[in-house]
Amino acid sequence: MNKAAFWAVLIAASIAGVAGLFIKSMQINPVSQAWLRMATPTVLTAIWLSFTGVPLLQGNWRKMSLVSVLGAVRMVFFFVAYTYATIGNAVIIFYTYPIFTALLSKVILREQITRRQVVLLFVAFTGILLAFSNKPFDLANNDIIGMLAAMASALIYALTVVLFKSESKNYSLPQLLFYQNAAGLFLLAPFFQFQQARLMDYSIGIGYGLLIGILAFSLFFFGLKKLKASTASALMYMEVVSALSLSVIFYEEQLTWTMILGALLIVSSSLLLKRK
């Protein structure tokens, strides 16, 4: 396995763990949050591509535009999930996406998925179940909405990862970042709460777009170019360990033995994926 790609995805996952902090800090609706998250990398990558003379539309741009639209829809579902569901429920359901990615990559990309990879995927998912076993499980109306949104987000994200992998060799990192976010800039703009948004919301949203939309996904796409789609997605389970650590530090959540055991399972499965 390519070591640079392996560590790039792990670092991306660790950075992505701060998503909950950004989302819970903004006071605008999920669609507005998603617009800020996607508009920031779109504008910056478009400027960069124009400055370097790279055309925005090249190659299989119709397919990539479809992926971009799917990404915008996925992002809305993602923010709805974290807004309405408890964090534990949202995380557990959303992080079924590496399992869906493995299935789709086998069907669409013809990737060979070994029994060992399947076992490590389920070890990591078991770690998530353990880590969040002490969280409240609620079936109130709002929580059900959030959980359904998390499942929709997981399914769409798995599909977009596989489709990006199928075209990753034909595009540079800035181009991949542009296509991942461009549709969201235009499709979500009419629903942005311009009057309700505070200066703090803009600052947090733009910061989120820079840290996650550009830095974290640059690392992820770098790894995706060199790793199997199923492997790259499985390594993203480390995001959960990062999120758990931040919840203990910033929200003063009690560190339990189930959280520790779950984190160890996730870390162990990620490291074992690196070994042949």
Domain count, the chain: 1
With a pLDDT cut of 70, the percent of the chain lying above it is: 93
Of residues 56 and 10, which shows the higher confidence score? 10
Looking at every residue in the chain, the average pLDDT score rounds to: 86
- Are 70 and 158 in contact, with CB atoms under 8 Å apart? no
The string of pLDDT tens digits covering residues 140-199 is 566 788 888 888 999 999 999 999 999 999 999 999 999 999 999 999 999 888 888 889
φ/ψ of residue 275, rounded to 5: -85, 145
In terms of DSSP H, where are the helices of 52-140?
Answer: 61-84, 87-94, 97-108, 115-131
The reported pTM is 0.85
The pLDDT value given to residue 49: 92
The whole-number pLDDT of residue 216 equals 94
Q: What's the pLDDT score for residue 251? A: 67
The tokens for 218 are 């640059």
Q: What is the mean pLDDT of residues 35-53?
A: 93
Angle between helices 199-208 and 30-51 (to 10 degrees): 60
- DSSP one-letter code for 109: S
Instruction: State the DSSP code for 57.
Output: S
Query: What's the pLDDT score for residue 26?
Result: 86
What mean pLDDT is predicted for residues 57-69?
89
Whether the CB-CB separation of 121 and 234 falls below 8 Å is answered with yes
pLDDT tens digits along 123-153: 888 888 887 776 665 555 667 888 888 889 9
pLDDT at position 61 is 87
Domain extent for 262: 3-274
Cα–Cα distances (Å) from 237 to 30, 45, 54, 244, in that order, read: 23, 27, 34, 12
* pLDDT tens-place string over residues 71-99: 999 988 988 887 787 766 777 788 888 88
Q: Angle at CA 187, nearest 5°, toward 184 and 189?
A: 90
Residue type, 159: L
